[in-house]
Amino acid sequence: MMSDMIHLPIWTIIAAAGMVAIAAIVSLLLRLRLEKDMIVGTLRAFVQLMAVGLILDWIFKLDRWYLITAWLLLMIGIAAYNAMRRQGKRIPGLTQRFILAIGLSSFISILLGIGLIIRPTPFWDPQYIIPIGGMIIGNAMASAALSVNRLFSEMKNRAGEIEAALSLGSNAYSASLPAMRAAVKSGMMHIISTTMVVGLVHLPGMMTGQIVGGIEPSEAVRYQLVIMYILIATTALSSLLSTLLICKLYFDERSHMILPE
């Protein structure tokens, strides 16, 4: 199936990198001062992706379930670290909880989506589990980061209400319910709004890749739909889990609200 795809020798990549010069000229003309970031970004992307390509080639060739699992776990770790980095207020325990929330929601999505719906044999066939698992983990990360960002700002804005509820005898979770609902909602919104316009404005990356790879568009669309539906569940799980786990961090054991300054 790879036969009708153009192989890209290394000079094509260098030529494409040359197109970054157009962006650099715009930056220079308008004094946007983006040139440095652009050059660093261009080089970083090159090194990162080339390395990932080599590692994945190796993982695909060896085709061992434990190597594939290790790769997925590594991605979960990086995703959790990234979600933590995206928080304005960082408190101890944040990364561990993101690992748990992103890991569990991705695990459930992979199990149901790949294990029960796409059903490759074996289950851990890297051709499916690595790219699709990566999309699942990436979306779980985005939702977790968005939810927790929103959770913190809601808790801050609603601190008066939360304390009023606590002073009436409410526990930490029920006192924070309005803030938690807003947080979960904000983590789920992006994928739901994507489903509304998908295909009309732009073709999603996975579908684009399959079409370039020689798959018929009508077949690529099927994959895209299955993935998107799985991702809706992933974002819901990840938003919910991260909100539940991290909300608890804003209270001590006697339900005193302890928001970081």
Partner 1 sequence: MHHIEIFKLKGVGRKKRRAKKDDYQWILRGIDLTIYAGERLALIGPSGSGKTTLLRSIADLEPIDDGEILFEGEPLQTIDPHEYRRNIGFVQQTPALFDGSVAENIRYGPRIFGEELSDDRVVEILKKVGLSADLADARSDELSIGQMQRVAIARSLSMEPNILLMDEPTSALDSNSANRIIRLVAGLAKEMELTAVIVLHDLAQARCGSDRVALLVDGRIDSVAGTEDFFENPPTEIAKRFLTYSSAGEDDV
CB of 250 to partner 1, least distance (A): 14
The CA distance from 182 to 159, in Å, is 14
CB of 254 to partner 1, least distance (A): 5
The CA distance from 106 to 99, in Å, is 10
* Residue nearer to partner 1 on the CB measure, 99 or 175: 175
Residues whose CB is less than 8 angstroms from the CB of residue 123 and which lie 6 or more positions away in sequence, other chains included:
114, 115, 129
CB of 175 to partner 1, least distance (A): 9
* Residue nearer to partner 1 on the CB measure, 216 or 252: 252
Count CB-CB contacts under 10 A for residue 211. Answer: 15
Neighbour-count burial of 156, counting CB atoms closer than 10 A to its CB (0-12 exposed, 13-18 middle, 19+ buried): middle
Q: Which residues bind partner 1 (CB under 8 A)?
A: 158-161, 163-171, 174, 178, 252, 254-257, 261
Count CB-CB contacts under 10 A for residue 81. Answer: 15
* Residue nearer to partner 1 on the CB measure, 114 or 166: 166
* Residue nearer to partner 1 on the CB measure, 179 or 240: 179
CB of 93 to partner 1, least distance (A): 18
